[in-house]
Structure 1
């Protein structure tokens, strides 16, 4: 298939998704489902077109996630981080680990998978999704009491390193039944990924801010272009040095967003548009990768695990993580327990073992699709009513 046809096809799918976006908001349907539905409806056999490339899909999904997380960092003020980093940091680390363990124990009793595969499945869906959290909170214009929205945003933007590391290690273990990975190797890799990402994100972010404030570009349109180039240097530079690319994206975004003094409006509009483009392309490509005929057989097998993740594994993990924070109200704890939004991140993570050829990984990918679907519909739809019910809405 020629490059021209691919470009025309993707542009047409984006146009269709955007045209459906406004009526979808009228009915409260998240944009994630609209764009993914466009990919599902128009690919994989319809119109004599079949898309099946796990590696390319994973690459597109990873790139889009980097952009979305970076833009989320640009729009996050330092005050929110100062108020949320303790609780959000515990949820982003121990919360992911506890969720993985609890959910693995649950699905080990339900599914015909060995325990390593169950751990891998659980790790894939253990983190909350930054794109889903940022977009749903923004679309519903929610401002929550007790900095609850800030905690959710901080958690979702910083919990991917732990989840990604678990997915990579467990994928390696699933491919080699005789291979065991020492705990100190996992800890060292985690420290390296976080440490390198923090250093590179901070350094590149500070240099970017200093240069922009020092030079004071007369052409405002060059400011977002300059920031985009620095974003690429920060994220992919961190990855080359062994750091976590998503964490580097978020940190550099926070540094730049809070540091630049000129061109903030043009910068905001440019990167918000870029974030929407990234979301559209990512969800459409993910939709194209999913084969509808394969989903029918896996739907009912996904219902119970999805509900147990939402109402058992995630709440239990959050409640344990909140034991040190005795001043947090039960309303806040309950809300964060029940609002662990999933989005494109688990699907992108599920592509890692699928592309590597882990036995059963394709079934996991399809089940993750439904878990994300249930999460977006149930948890995404419950955010505003639950906030009102618990009297956390500060709007």
Structure 2
């Protein structure tokens, strides 16, 4: 199946699901799309039991989509840039210390806690798995995805500083989480004996600092180009070229593309409105990236729902997935507890910040994409199913209940 046909089918399905959700279900946009996509997938399975041809064609479509490449190499950079572009530096500056700890130390602690607990869980069920593979799972499931929860937090009138923490953490922990996964993946491939602690540290530093440096340099160059012209068409094209250029360069230089895009987006979004863009240009740039954000999110969450067609529904795998849900939540709460306790009084955190950030830390497509990148000997099918169960629970259950939770806590402590 050619690429245009695949994109056409996904776009038509996304538009149809969006209409159904907007007209009838009235759920948060991305959550509604994914729920409808799952129902659609189950309906195809039901019809496929009568007419196998339909199910075979649907599975062929999903197998022809390289979800890992589509998300990590294409969608992720655009989604992160769109989010970073509207993230104000003033708000981040106030919360920079806890956000930095959440997105770095928090991700590392969560990775090791989840990996360790899953390792012993498998032992209890007499299903031993190498510890390094459990750590890989911990790394892929630790990054959080704010896309589905941001609109809900706004509807709940969540305090701005809470929203900033969740947005800031997720923008950066996506990049850091991918780097941690890459490092552990290389250790799993080559063996711990072939890599020293210095090699691991150097790889981590190269990915993180290299990504930050690339984002700053590329963002500054794009800003300088836009500053000397006043033409909204050209300036929109420059922002588009910036994202695509960073993605390509990051792969060539072996640095973190997600971090580079986030840094460039924050730089452009905070520097350009006052120093490079006219009011017309800013309006067009904002609308363009809002449209890109909506389109890619629609496609992403429909894809997540349709991925059910190629996920193994082995009973044991599903049980492990259900048990992994509280393990992931507990690990996240513990990982956030230290920074929350340390900065609680200094930065006047709202009550139950740790609880809200734990429940609001929704896992999304990045986790599925990383799980798909695992090799067969790394228990790919098992961890893919477990990841899918966590992501579905996270988006639907946590996504639909985080709003009422925030409102309840705000009323209680108002």
TM bracket, shorter-chain basis = 0.7 to 0.9
CA contact (8 A) 1:341 1:380 kept: yes
2:107 aligned to which of 59, 78, 96: 96
TM-score, with length taken from structure 1: 0.88
CA contact (8 A) 2:104 2:176 kept: yes
CA contact (8 A) 1:175 1:358 kept: no
CA contact (8 A) 1:143 1:394 kept: no
CA deviation after TM superposition for structure 1 residue 197, in Å? 1.5
CA contact (8 A) 1:143 1:149 kept: no
User: Match for residue 38 of structure 2?
Assistant: 37
**Stretch deviating more after TM superposition (8-17 or 270-279):** 8-17
User: Match for residue 110 of structure 1?
Assistant: 121
Deviation track 1:193-233 (CA, whole Å, cap 9, x = no partner) reads: 1212112211221222222222111xx33332221012212
Structure 2: distance between partners of 1:391 and 1:183: 45
CA deviation after TM superposition for structure 1 residue 36, in Å? 4.7
SS in structure 2 opposite 1:72? helix
1:230 aligned to which of 231, 234, 242: 242
CA contact (8 A) 1:51 1:289 kept: no
CA deviation after TM superposition for structure 1 residue 235, in Å? 3.2
Deviation track 1:81-131 (CA, whole Å, cap 9, x = no partner) reads: 112221111000000111111112221222222211211111111111143
**Stretch deviating more after TM superposition (115-124 or 90-99):** 115-124
Per the alignment, do residues 289 and 207 of structure 1 end up closer, same or farther by CA in structure 2, a change over 3 Å counting? Answer: same
2:222 aligned to which of 181, 202, 208: 208
Structure 1: distance between partners of 2:396 and 2:3: 36
Structure 1: distance between partners of 2:24 and 2:361: 23
User: Match for residue 367 of structure 2?
Assistant: 346
SS in structure 2 opposite 1:340? coil
Per the alignment, do residues 243 and 130 of structure 1 end up closer, same or farther by CA in structure 2, a change over 3 Å counting? Answer: farther
Structure 1: distance between partners of 2:4 and 2:361: 40
Deviation track 1:260-317 (CA, whole Å, cap 9, x = no partner) reads: 332112211111111122223333344444436723623333112112211x111111
1:357 aligned to which of 367, 376, 381: 376
Structure 2: distance between partners of 1:26 and 1:394: 30
Per the alignment, do residues 394 and 208 of structure 1 end up closer, same or farther by CA in structure 2, a change over 3 Å counting? Answer: farther
CA deviation after TM superposition for structure 1 residue 59, in Å? 0.9
Unpaired stretches in structure 2, ≥5 consecutive residues? none
Per the alignment, do residues 322 and 11 of structure 1 end up closer, same or farther by CA in structure 2, a change over 3 Å counting? Answer: closer
CA contact (8 A) 1:146 1:332 kept: no
CA contact (8 A) 1:40 1:288 kept: yes
Per the alignment, do residues 324 and 60 of structure 1 end up closer, same or farther by CA in structure 2, a change over 3 Å counting? Answer: same
Deviation track 1:150-183 (CA, whole Å, cap 9, x = no partner) reads: 0110100001233212222333343455655322
CA deviation after TM superposition for structure 1 residue 339, in Å? 2.3
User: Match for residue 251 of structure 2?
Assistant: 239
TM-score, with length taken from structure 2: 0.84
Matches within 5 A, 1:41-120: 46-49=54-57, 50-51=60-61, 53=63, 56-62=66-72, 63-111=74-122, 112=127, 113-120=129-136
Q: Greater share of helix residues, 1 or 2? A: 2
Deviation track 1:340-381 (CA, whole Å, cap 9, x = no partner) reads: 21111111111221xx33331111111101101111223222
CA contact (8 A) 2:143 2:363 kept: yes
SS in structure 1 opposite 2:228? helix
Per the alignment, do residues 303 and 183 of structure 1 end up closer, same or farther by CA in structure 2, a change over 3 Å counting? Answer: same
Q: How many residues align?
A: 388
Structure 2: distance between partners of 1:4 and 1:373: 28
SS in structure 1 opposite 2:66? helix
Unpaired stretches in structure 1, ≥5 consecutive residues? none
